[in-house]
Structure 1
Amino acid sequence: MSIYDERQSRQALIVWMYSNKKVKQLQKYGFVYYVSRKMKYAVLYTDVSEADHIQKNLEKLHFVRQVDVSPRQAMATDYATAFDAYAADLMAKKDSDDNDRLNERYA
């Protein structure tokens, strides 16, 4: 079993910068996933256990404006249950519409 078999729990940090010139320095804090040159931010992935410590260190850098924790982990990503509930609502609505049409036709 290798180290790549286990999924690592990662935390995304959004780093807002004053300037994009020092983006390369962010690589020593984690994996730089995306950099927006126009909006001057970067998405950085770190281990969950080190996220708070790294966030505090990043906020001390002179080119960093703000560091936000990504809300992605808090979001529900199980869409199967949401789809089932939506499909059940559609079927209930369709059945009630069919019953209304029958009642209007034969009333």
Structure 2
Amino acid sequence: MSINQEIENTHLTKRVALIIYLKSVSDQYKLRHYGDIVYFSKKMKYCILYVNRKEAKDVKNQIGQLDFVNYVEISPEEKVNLDSQHIEGQLVKMAKEAEKKLQLEQEKNEDQMQ
């Protein structure tokens, strides 16, 4: 069972992240009215705002109409598979790929030495 499925069965308020791209970095404080700002990047001019999942589409539309906002998107985190077997499989696959690369590099170095 994935973490998302486990959370669905609890009494916790379901939340989702909105990624908001801004025209001006000084206006990010105005977004506090809509939810909880959890991250802000001055350099990239965006922030991440958590809102209740049930209200996410309405809040997205409201924020999108603000004059200091370029673009708003709902985080695709729901599509991320956090099942332990899936993650374990990915780690094993990455380890095998890393081993192959190391072997190729070692063979290349041995060939150059000769």
Q: What residue is the counterpart of 1:52 in the other structure?
A: 57
Alignment deviations for residues 8-31 of structure 1 (CA, whole Å, 9 cap, x no partner): 210100000011111110000000
* Distance (whole Å) between structure 1 residues aligned to residue 91 and residue 44 of structure 2: 36
CA displacement at 1:84 relative to structure 2: 5.8
**TM-score, scaled to structure 1:** 0.71
> Which structure: greater helix fraction?
2
Find 1:10's aligned residue among 11, 15, 22: 15
Identity of aligned residues (%): 30
* Distance (whole Å) between structure 1 residues aligned to residue 77 and residue 43 of structure 2: 23
Find 2:40's aligned residue among 35, 41, 46: 35
* Distance (whole Å) between structure 2 residues aligned to residue 55 and residue 19 of structure 1: 18
Alignment deviations for residues 21-62 of structure 1 (CA, whole Å, 9 cap, x no partner): 111100000000000000000000000000000000001100
Unaligned residue ranges in structure 2 (runs of 5+)? 1-9, 97-114
Give 1:59's aligned amino acid: G
Give 2:45's aligned amino acid: K
* Distance (whole Å) between structure 2 residues aligned to residue 53 and residue 45 of structure 1: 13
* Distance (whole Å) between structure 1 residues aligned to residue 21 and residue 27 of structure 2: 12
SS, match of residue 21 in structure 1: helix
**Structure number with larger C-alpha Rg:** 1
Pair 1:81-2:81 in alignment: no
Q: CA RMSD in A?
A: 1.9
CA displacement at 1:73 relative to structure 2: 1.6
**Large movers: runs of 4+ above 2 Å:** 84-87
